[in-house]
Amino acid sequence: MRSVLTSALVRPFLRLSRGLTLGVRGVVAGPDGVLLVRHSYVAGWYLPGGGVERGETVRAALDRELAEEANVSLLGEPRLHGLFSNNKRFPGDHVLVFVADRWHQDGAPKPNAEIRETGFFALTDLPEGTSPGTRRRLAEIFEGAAPAEDW
């Protein structure tokens, strides 16, 4: 796992040196609600996920991010919900969102330098500070809201 400091220092360079960046997010839902994470380097609650590294497949990135951030392993193929542009925050950034129908969590994840907190939340009781993009994706998936192209 990369350190938060390294990520914070390298991210601006990568944004300038690459015309396009790609990330993944996983929607992991269960009887206790949907899984969200709270990072150490940005305020709010988000779907677990992160950047696709050079030479890494999208699926491998999703598997890695879910394991690192939430101690979640996928037990089957995730379903692609959509591809979203994150141009308002990072020009050239795109995010693939997957829905994990079958998964396993081998114990609660321990807080680390990147993830301060994780939790399962009912869709009707999302924590204060849940990001607008996260709320939009959940409304699309679980409430039938029309998908938007932007994050």
Domains and CATH numbers, the chain: 4-143 (3.90.79.10)
d(CA 13, CA 9): 8
Contact 112, 1 (CB under 8 A): yes
Q: What pLDDT digit, counting tens, does each position of 126-142 carry?
A: 999 999 999 999 999 99
Is residue 9 pLDDT above 90, yes or no? no
**How many Å apart are CA 21 and CA 14, to the nearest integer?**
8
Percent of the chain past pLDDT 70, that is, above it, reads 87
**Cβ-count burial of 25 within 10 angstroms (0-12 exposed, 13-18 middle, 19+ buried)?**
buried
Give the C-alpha separation, 5 to 110, whole Å.
19
Only one residue has tokens 């996928």, namely 74
Q: Quick: pLDDT tens for 34-66.
A: 999 999 999 999 999 999 999 999 999 999 999
| Residues 58-97 pLDDT 10s | 999 999 999 999 999 999 999 999 999 987 767 788 999 9
d(CA 95, CA 88): 13
Average pLDDT, the chain: 89
Beta-bridged to residue 85, according to DSSP, are 94, 150
Q: What's this model's pTM, rounded to 2 decimal places?
A: 0.85
